[in-house]
Amino acid sequence: MSSLNRLKSEEEKSTPTTGFLTSNDIDGLQAETAEKKEPLFDPYDLYPRDGTMYDMRLGTEVYVSDKKVPTYLTDADPFVVIKPGEFALLTTLEYLRLPADIIGLLSLKFTWASRGLVNISGFHVDPGYTGRIIFSVQNGGPNEVVLKFKERVFMIMLYRLHRSVKPHLNNFDMIPPSMIASVRGPPISLRHLDKRLLRVEGRLTLVWTLFVSILGAVIVLFLTHR
């Protein structure tokens, strides 16, 4: 083998294969980054063990659109309730440190999507991102959605690029006020709008009844004084 071919062969062996990472790949990357004191996931608890994704858990800081400020979940107070039509900002328990040649693809787990929870935020994480993931969601279903601290709510698939890119600089460790301002307000849902419409119809019916009664009284008064 010529020196040129040998060099190409060595480069191919040293170059990571592009494509989606399996559980084994994620395990290996976690160990590699942990040795450098910059773990891929912190804390780390790989699940599923035989798939192509990592299920992330619900973190401490959450915000629901009918509140004024975020709330903080603990083991002693672990639940957050998202009512129909409400928006919420949810953080991950895991602190993520993506290498500059890895991109992440985000989704809600089907368990929660089937209950009406809809991801209305971004669906990817840029290479080089460092921080917690903030999911913006809405409860589009007819019932309340109850989430628990450290529950596996989100999932991320990791894809290795052909080469490294410039690291992403817009990183988050907590929910910024600008995000809170963008979702704060009353719930918006078909059920909520239907209730408001029924209230308006009831008021219009009352006004119409009063109008007919007053008109009838005026007519009777006019006829009796002729």
Report the mean per-residue pLDDT for the chain.
86
Task: Say what percent of the chain tops pLDDT 70.
Answer: 77
- pLDDT tens digit string along 151-187? 999 999 999 999 999 876 778 999 999 999 988 888 7
- Maximum average pLDDT range among 13-22, 122-131, 192-201: 122-131
Is the pLDDT at 103 greater than 80? The verdict is yes
Its pTM stands at 0.76
Closest to 119 in 3D by CA, of 110, 132, 129: 110
Closest to 181 in 3D by CA, of 84, 70, 92, 93: 70
Domain 20-183 has CATH 3.40.50.300: no
Is the pLDDT at 35 greater than 60? The verdict is yes
Residue 216 makes CB contacts below 8 A (sequence gap 6+) with none
